[in-house]
Chain A
Amino acid sequence: MNTVQRTIRFTLNGEAVSADVPPHWNLVELLQNRFALFGARESCGQGLCGCCTVLVNGTAVTGCLYLAALVDGAEVVTIERAADGDGLDAVQKAFIECGAFQCGFCTPGFILMTRQLLDEKPDPTEDEIRHYLSGNLCRCGAYPEIIEAVRRAARMRKSTS
């Protein structure tokens, strides 16, 4: 498979970067093979589990189905983007405090989706939380703790804003 690579330029976690990518690579492969970022993970390979969630131009996409070349010129944010201060934002702190993960494999996806949810709806109802996060799967079954963490993060964000 000798394929012509294409050079793309984009912003990755706030930094301008460029990379040569084969046309068949997906976004997860780009992040892992060119930037050693492993927080977005391919699991189901069908866009059904949310483990590969990445933000492209501010919107969550499933990295396993998103062609790498398409992020040319885009702003890409992954779980590895550090928050200010001690490096953890309210959502991450709330996930730790509520024990909202076990094996941790799905956790980056849940955290990115929760941030997007709270940006859209700072005070979501339980029903809204469940529907918004229904595209992310957690085989350890930490769902009740995740719901609790989302609510806690919402409170933390309100008290600091």
Chain B
Amino acid sequence: MRAEEKRGAVGRSVPRLEGKAKVTGRAEYVHNLRLPGMLHGKIFRSTIAHGRIKRIDVTAARAVPGVHRVVTGEDIRAIIPDPHYGPAFHDQPILALDKVRHVGEPVALVLATDPHVAEEAASLIDVQYEALPAVFDEVEAMTSKAVVHEVLRPAGTFPDLKHLQGRKNTNIALDYHLRRGDAAAAFKKADRVFEHTFRTQQVLHVPLEPFVSAAVPGDGTLTIHTASQSPSFVRIEIARLLGWPESKVRVKVPYLGGGFGAKLYIKLEALVAAASLLTGRPVKVSLTMEEQFYTLTKHAATIRIKSGVTKDGRITARECEVWWNGGAYADIGPRITQKSGFTAPGPYDIENVHIDSYALYTNLPPAGALRGFGIPQLVWAYDGHTDMIARELRLDPLEFRRKNLLRDGRPQATGTVMKDAALDKALERVAARLDWGKPFERGSGTVRRGRGIAIGFKAVIAPTTSVAIVNLYADGSCALYSSTVDMGQGSDTAMAQIVAEVLGIRIESITVVHPDTDVTPYDMATLGSRSTYHMGNAVRRAAEDARDKLLALAREVGLSGETTPIAEVFRKKYGMQAGNIIGTGSFIPTYQPTDHDTGQSANVTPFWMIGASGAEVEVDTETGQVKVTRLVNVSDVGTPINPRIVETQLSGASIMQLGFTLSEKMEFSAGQCTNASLAGYRIPGMLDIPASIANEAVDSTEHGGPFGAKGVGESGTFSVSPAIANAIDDAVGVRLTSLPLTAEAVYRALRTKQGSPLKA
């Protein structure tokens, strides 16, 4: 419309809106928050993995000068009769009631104006337990006599969990099954059958801003300031717990110092809400780095995968059995079991598929979403397995994937026909960037070189809703109200670009109003790479609505909306700089649930994410040390709104996955995490980054997305782990099937291959 401004805001690498605030240390995080009369809470946590609480003695803690109050689970029952929360199951108590189910579970909360006083007092709490048998392994949990929950309590939100209501004596929090074709018959007919079992370890998000929430009680109202990826969920769940209308609970979220799936649903919000209502004062709880290890983790998984293959390298059948270690509380694990479960056979065109995917309760810290929602665990299995088959058949791993790749127009295992999924392009670009067809220097002596590729895909969680409001001011500047949380992924900037594009105004004149449930409308959550597509569509519609109203207003006052500056339209209507135009937009994609018995659906996802990686490694055969010298990540993200931010998302995701591949692992002894600090749990630093990292978004269009875009936050994680394991196999001929790929694991495998295995 206004030609001088129309430079095309979408598709440009504009710098982040909040850049200056972040480089000057002035960006707002919940950890900055100080409130008058505020109490700090420190949590006393369970020291055993599974047990009945016999007695909680808080006398000594209460006697510490400066302690305002000590709160236990029973105290909370006085204001919340059923204090259990959770997105899939109402299984998690705000503070332990009757039982503890993992080491580190919150049992009591000490409140004091001085956090040091609260911490000292918390250490004086004495709890006596009657220890119960515990289960830690996800496969054992299937048949274990140790049962984590007495009875299953689905939240009612998800129809496919309803059949579990009231079930007893089981640790299975969801069983998902997919049946396509006749796998048993196809295995009989196959020329070769391959079967392997893979494992992934329990790891942690480690946002550098640890979990933090604060609650402020009002007159029949409650305001919660929280580092959360899901403000709308927090409001609805807190209102449900309290039996209040949504309108009485206000949730505000500034910037997040990282989230990665950790800061979803309820974490500390119910605890600070209850404590603030019990005391009538603002309460803030800030976790330490160590406490993050007890709060939410990523699922360890065991994956058995079996394929039937023809002589010429066509995969005709695949069977997958997946056990997800959900820890003591389900969090969103049952969704992972289903939403990721149905992609377990990988992005391959296979006629006969048989999948069983199980969410298991164990006595470990709870597991939830972590940048990929279960996909990196599955890709680790299927694209290692795929590579092993290719090597066994003496086929080129690239050629074998080409031959079996799932292409647009063909049905995925659920029956949903693939569209806008540039698997072929992603695979070809990785191969091209690695010069796959050219000779490769394999090293000599004790340093051997190898290379590997892998490809994975993901269906976005569906169906979910986003709502947005665009408020156009009388001078032509504008505000966008959206409950999408900018935790570093650059959503503020991308959403502002969409508004600027539609309205033809400068990005700098747009203010993105941060989530505040009294102000910003509903959004399901910032997770699963859904925001660009869902909120992006809602924002686009809101901006179009504002634009249409502006054009109508211009017509009404006899001006051309196309050419008149916005401020003049307002002035003509209101006689001065006054008034607003409010545009609204909402978006929910179409979706068909999977069938309970067969897992089939004609429309299982609004869009597919594609992530392929290639790695070159050097393996020191004397130490097992693996050095990744080159990493290539190629994704289909549709058409990027902001190409630079897209690239940094791919790069950052791959670096995070590099940590999960090479070094990160939560170690446990009787359910106690023994390396709960950054000293014992090593995340990647500058020196761990490959000399060469290249990232690419293939030329692609997502037809349902805003300006052809779709999600990108997770795609860079999918294929890093198997690409590196495949490269290690290429270099030294050993195959690792468990993560992480430590020097010790590689060296042990080398010794085993040489016929002189090391002792355990």
Contacts and interface: CB of A to CB of B under 8 A. Distances in A.
Interface of A: 1-2, 24, 32, 36-41, 43-46, 48-49, 51, 78-80, 82, 87-88, 92, 95-97, 99, 101-108, 111, 129-131, 133-147
Given A46-B678, A49-B208, A106-B208, A1 B289 contact: no
Nearest to A83: B24
8 tightest Cβ-Cβ pairs between the two chains A and B: A39-B25, A141-B655, A103-B488, A105-B257, A104-B22, A102-B488, A79-B25, A141-B652
B65 A139 contact: no
Interface of B: 15-16, 18-27, 29, 31-32, 34, 64-66, 114, 116-117, 120, 205-210, 255-260, 288-290, 487-490, 644-645, 648, 651-656, 677-679, 683-687, 689, 693
Main secondary structure of the interface of B (DSSP, over half): loop
Nearest to A92: B23
21 contacts: A38-B25, A38-B26, A38-B31, A43-B208, A43-B289, A79-B25, A82-B24, A88-B24, A95-B23, A97-B15, A102-B490, A103-B488, A104-B18, A130-B686, A135-B685, A136-B686, A137-B208, A141-B652, A141-B684, A142-B651, A145-B648
Given A1-B65, A1-B114, A102-B489, 6 more contacts: A44-B289, A46-B678, A104-B18, A104-B255, A104-B257, A139-B258
Contacts of A78: 25
A141 B23 contact: no
A141 B257 contact: no
A105 B206 contact: no
Contacts of A146: 686
Contacts of A38: 25-26, 29, 31-32
Contacts of B114: 1
Contacts of B257: 41, 43, 103-105
Contacts of B654: 141
Contacts of A48: 678-679
Nearest to B642: A99
A54 to B, nearest CB: 11
Given A88-B20, A139-B206, A139-B258, A99 B25 contact: no
Contact of A44 (B15, B258, B678): B678
Contacts of A136: 685-686
Contacts of A131: 686-687
A134 B65 contact: no
Contacts of A143: 655, 684-686, 689
Contacts of A147: 686
B24 A80 contact: yes
Contact of B693 (A99, A101, A144): A144
B675 to A, nearest CB: 12
Contacts of A102: 258, 488-490, 648, 652
A134 B689 CA distance: 11
A139 B256 CA distance: 12
Contacts of B207: 103, 105, 139
Given A87-B24, A104-B255, A141 B18 contact: no
Nearest to A145: B648
A96 B24 CA distance: 11
Given A96-B20, A141-B655, A144-B693, A49 B678 contact: yes
Contact of A104 (B259, B488, B653, B678): B488
B24 A92 contact: yes
Contacts of A138: 208
Nearest to A147: B686
Contacts of A106: 208
A96 B685 contact: no
Given A78-B25, A87-B24, A97-B15, A137 B683 contact: yes
A46 B679 contact: yes
B23 A96 contact: yes
A99 B116 CA distance: 38
Contacts of B655: 141, 143
Contacts of A105: 29, 207-209, 257-258
Contacts of A108: 23, 25
Nearest to B486: A103
Contact of B16 (A32, A37, A43, A99): A99
Main secondary structure of the interface of A (DSSP, over half): loop
Contacts of B32: 32, 38
Contact of A134 (B16, B206, B210, B686): B686
Contacts of B15: 96-97, 99
Given A1-B120, A2-B65, A144-B689, A101 B25 contact: no
Contacts of B685: 134-137, 143
Contacts of B25: 37-40, 78-80, 107-108
A104 B492 CA distance: 14
Contacts of A104: 18, 21-23, 27, 255, 257, 488
Contacts of B206: 139
A35 B288 CA distance: 22
B648 A99 contact: yes
A105 to B, nearest CB: 3
Contacts of B116: 1, 24
A43 B211 CA distance: 10
Contacts of B644: 99
A141 B653 contact: yes
Contacts of A1: 64-66, 114, 116-117, 120
Contacts of B34: 36
A134 B687 contact: yes
Contacts of B255: 103-104
B95 to A, nearest CB: 24
A97 B23 CA distance: 11
A34 B43 CA distance: 25
A80 B689 contact: no
Contacts of B289: 43-46
A115 to B, nearest CB: 12
Nearest to A101: B22
A51 B652 CA distance: 18
Contacts of B20: 87-88, 92, 96
A36 B26 CA distance: 11
Contacts of B21: 104
A40 B64 CA distance: 30
A106 B258 CA distance: 10
Nearest to B22: A104
Which of A103, A133, A137 has most B Cβ within 10 Å?
Answer: A103
B729 to A, nearest CB: 26
Contacts of B651: 141-142, 144-145
Nearest to A51: B208
Nearest to A93: B23
Given A103-B488, A105-B257, A134-B687, A142 B22 contact: no
A60 B209 CA distance: 21
Contacts of A51: 208
B24 A39 contact: yes
B648 A107 contact: no
A105 B259 CA distance: 11
Contacts of A79: 24-25
B578 to A, nearest CB: 33
A103 B209 contact: yes
A49 B209 CA distance: 11
B373 to A, nearest CB: 18
A80 B675 CA distance: 34
A139 B24 contact: no
Contacts of A2: 65-66
Contacts of B120: 1
Contacts of A129: 686
A80 B208 contact: no
A4 B275 CA distance: 30
A145 to B, nearest CB: 6
A101 B687 CA distance: 18
A102 B25 CA distance: 13
Given A99-B648, A141-B655, A142-B652, A107 B686 contact: no
Contacts of B260: 139
